[in-house]
Structure 1
Amino acid sequence: MNTRSTILEVDTVALVHNYKTYEKLTQKDVYAVVKANAYGLGMIKVAEVFESENVTMLCVATLDEALELREAKIKTPILVMGYTPLDSFHLAKESSIHLTITSIEQLEAIKMSSLTDLLLHLKINTSMNRLGIELNDERLKPLIHHVSKTHSIEGIFTHFAINEMTALASAFQLFKNYVISLDFSFKSIHAKSSKNSLMLSEDFTTAVRIGIGLYDNDLHEALKPVVRLVSEVVALRTIQSGETVGYNGIFAAHTPTKIATIPIGYGDGILRSDKQQNVFINNVAYPIVGNVCMDQLMVMVDDRVSDHDEVELFGHNQSVEAYALKRDTINYEVLTLLSQRIQRVYK
């Protein structure tokens, strides 16, 4: 049950459109990345949408996320892209979950263990220096051939750090050369993600991993916006010259000023620093004033605004990307910070 008017609207038709757009633009299998609660949109429901479209693979960051999907009866293959401790591998095996091998040491530990029949993808470090087997590590080739006798090494992948064409092409070529040198037939080779899959055309990889490109529309003109964050005006008052708004009184009126209270705050993922943002009421921009509170924020409005008018923080009037730029961050962070207190409504 939800009694709040503060909701995140998710357009599932646009979501499917973006998925199919990436299929068309890249001419590859699209692995849908649903980690971090599907970038804030709701992992279970979003996974159900993709499963109905027969997506080849769902990608998550942790085994816990993968198990949550299985508990929700999601049958689509799932790849855990992050590190998983060896003592949890049996849980992945029991649920037919693909695991990422993030180091030579991890692969050696599997070789020495009594585990069998794991579904494995090898991650190669090309430039992120975060996780992955180092490029040109000569120990990998013999290990692959040994481990593949008792496990299914399904795929190999990397993740590029820089989306600049020269650096991207160079890192891709290094990855390609290393994969070829391993002399192993991988069912899946994936390297590119939302942005760089639209930059670099090649016929070596079999799939692309798409996350933010499914959920926002700033990367290509053919993509559609998927989300709207909306609330409502729950209180209106006029304050006089010299009166202040919110904690610490950082905003003071210089003339009689109309203030609207909106029931959304930093407890929902709106930052205190968002006081420089505008919201949109009846398609008109109005500035947030005073400090954002945990449960409310206040907006300076005019006589065109009435009680219970809808308030849009991002959506039709302002993209998530535009909102993020004003926050000096990225759209990924804006969406993933939205708390569970905000109901997701699917249309």
Structure 2
Amino acid sequence: MGGTFQIDEAQFIKQAEQFQLAGRTIAVVKNNAYNYGLEFAVKAFAISGIREFATTSVDDAVKIRQMCGPNADIILMNPTTDFKRARMFNLDVTLPSPGYYDTYKEELKGLNIHIEYAGLFNRSGLSDIDELGYILDDLKARNASLNFRGLWTHFGYSDAFDGIYETERANWLEFVRDVKALGVEPEMIHAQNSASYVRDGIFDGHSHVRLGIGLYGSKPYADLDDKDFIQSSVLSAPIIQFRELTAGMTLGYGAAFKADSDCRIAIVDIGYGDGVLRRRAGYECEIGGKFYPIVALMMSHMAVLVDDNVTADMNVYLYNKKLRIDKYTQLGVGANSEQLGALNYQSLGREIIYDV
């Protein structure tokens, strides 16, 4: 067997309980719940008290409804054209642009709609208040109405400390004021991700925070205490053999490693084909409580420079409480979500420790 991604359910739930804003948290569970597993994460978040969920996939939204029943709020952050299932499963939908409104104004009738503001991130959403004014004017001219239940944006710079987040935040708050000045009073206003929530608490006049990576136990930026972000996951793999190299010998694709002196290499049953990012291989792993350098990464294997204390029955750890995912984010390996999203469950084992 190759590598194994292991999650401690009790620790996962504890993190969700300590990080959420009780009764006012929307859990982001997109992309297989940051690869922790959709069904596992939704169940754990529900145990922790969360009843609101956001995802980008209609299929995932339907699964959440089937798991949680009629009392959960489920928001589609991507615009959808699957209006049949949106109605059937009572899914809140996103309004991203005047063009989308013009195309689907009839299909949107009777649905709970969340107006999206593009802001500085500018991935999707209304560019300015005039675009909402256009939609409202058209509704008035046609003597029609839509249920604008929510208003939201995504902060792309809340982990930046160069002043851009302050501009992003000010633009959003101005947009919220302008929306209300047009007579739209959404029941749900949600903008803040984990970084924004940690920095500011919940904004005045906002109903919810919409949290992702912090709920899963990774710090949204470096200058935070580990104890406030419990990493419940471990990625490990077994040693399958040792290679004894003499000075000058090479190993790996393109002679990735060249021995400066006689040395011992552990070959580990995990590689980039299993989702280990190449940049992660530039740093250490843990074996038997000690740290050892990774010297080469292949599709199915990893080479580690070890000493005689390492034996074949020892597990090799790439992520655990000492080797935190967010540590390698700060070292430039990749965003927390990038490291998690790369994991390949077609080749990795996945284990849940159920002790709650």
1:322 paired residue number: 327
- Matched residue of 1:197: which SS? helix
Query: Cα offset for 1:28?
Result: 6.0
Give the secondary structure class of the aligned counterpart of 1:213.
coil
Shift in Å at residue 145 of structure 1? 6.9
The answer to whether the aligner puts 1:100 opposite 2:101 as a matched pair is no
Q: Secondary structure at the match of 1:73?
A: helix
Which of 299, 312, 333 is equivalent to 2:338?
333
8 Å CA contact retained: 1:38, 1:46: yes
1:264–1:297: 8 Å Cα contact kept in structure 2? yes
Over aligned residues, Cα RMSD in angstroms? 2.4
The 2-side partners of 1:116 and 1:181 are apart by: 23
Of the candidates 31, 34, 41, which is equivalent to residue 26 of structure 2? 31
C-alpha deviation, 1:191, in angstroms = 0.9
- Alignment equivalent of 1:127, drawn from 115, 120, 135: 120
Once residues 14 and 235 of structure 2 are traced to their aligned partners in structure 1, the CA distance between those partners, rounded to angstroms, is 20
Per-residue deviation, residues 6-45 of structure 1 (Å, max 9, x unmatched):
2112222232223222335xx6611011101111111121
Query: Residue in 2 aligned with 1:7?
Result: 4
Deviations 1:187-220 (A, max 9, x none): 2110111100122243210001100111134244
Query: Which amino acid in the other structure matches residue 238 of structure 2?
Result: E
Cα distance per residue 1:284-320 (max 9 Å; x no partner): 1111113x11111111100110002011101122110
Task: Provide the residue aligned with 1:234 in structure 2.
Answer: 240
SS where residue 141 of structure 1 aligns? Answer: helix
Q: Structure 2 counterpart of 1:141, which letter?
A: L
SS of equivalent to 2:117: strand
Instruction: Please list every run of 5 or more consecutive structure 2 residues that lacks an aligned counterpart in the other structure.
Output: none
Contact 1:12 1:226 in 2 (8 A): yes
Distance in 2 between the 1:143 and 1:126 partners?
23
Instruction: Using the TM superposition, give the Cα deviation of residue 5 of structure 1 relative to its aligned residue in structure 2, in angstroms.
Output: 5.1
Equivalent-residue separation in structure 2 for 1:294 and 1:170 (angstroms):
46
1:147–1:327 distance in 2 versus 1, CA, 3 Å: farther
Alignment of 1:258-269 (within 5 A): 258-269=264-275
Distance 2:17 2:182 in 1: 33
Q: How many residues align?
A: 337
Give runs of aligned pairs for residues 132-151 of structure 1, distance below 5 A: 132-137=125-130, 138-142=133-137
TM-score, normalization by structure 1: 0.88
Unaligned runs of 5+ in 1: none
Q: Secondary structure at the match of 1:259?
A: strand
User: Residues 93 and 119 of structure 1 are in contact (CA less than 8 Å); yes or no, is this contact kept in structure 2?
Assistant: no
Distance in 2, matches of 1:198 and 1:275, equals: 31
Contact in 2 for aligned 1:117/1:150 (Cα 8 Å) = no
Whole-angstrom distance in 1 between the partners of 2:212 and 2:47: 18
Do the aligned residues in 2 keep the contact of 1:42 with 1:344 (CA within 8 Å)? no
Q: In the superposition, relative to structure 1, how do residues 148 and 73 fare at CA in structure 2: closer, same or farther (>3 Å)?
A: farther
